[in-house]
Amino acid sequence: MPQLNEDSNDYIFQQDDSLAHYHKDVRGYLIINLPQRWTGCTGKEDDVLMRWPPQSPDLTPYDFFIWGFVKDIVFMPPLPANLQDLCNRITAAMALVNRDMLTCVWNEIDYCIDVCCITEGGHIEHL
């Protein structure tokens, strides 16, 4: 937390739906240190910005953009012949990510969060 707060005090902490993140000690820590500034698996009494949607859509850039983008490039035929070839392809794919792409990704995240808020965390089939 100190490192996050050194950079900015204007952020929302998002955790995934991992069972370990649902532990009462983890949630208690977030309630004390980030009241109304975190989202994730919650209990009914937790002080959160937004409850984690059931069967959540991919709300992080890694989930809905980076992994698919990299896999599409890395596993284009001919497939990597060895571990070094695989590493080189991953590095080359990541080097293709540019500012314009990330701006589009950010706009998509903003849209997904708006939809989650409007539906109050309900199931969102089309995302």
**Residue 89: its pLDDT value, please?**
94
Q: Which of 96, 57, 89 is nearest to 71 (CA)?
A: 89
How far apart are the C-alpha atoms of 46 and 30, rounded to whole Å?
A: 9
pLDDT tens track for 11-64: 777 776 666 667 888 888 888 888 888 877 777 777 777 776 655 555 566 666
Question: CA 80, 58, 16: angle at the middle one, nearest 5?
Answer: 100
| Percent of the chain with pLDDT strictly greater than 70 | 77
Tokens of 37: 């500034």
Q: Residue 77 belongs to what H/E stretch? A: none
Q: Average pLDDT of 85-107?
A: 91
How is the chain split into domains, by residue range?
1-52, 54-127
Judged against a pLDDT cut of 60, whether residue 127 lies above it is answered with no
Judged against a pLDDT cut of 90, whether residue 95 lies above it is answered with yes
| HSE (side-chain half, CA atoms, 13 Å) at 51 | 14
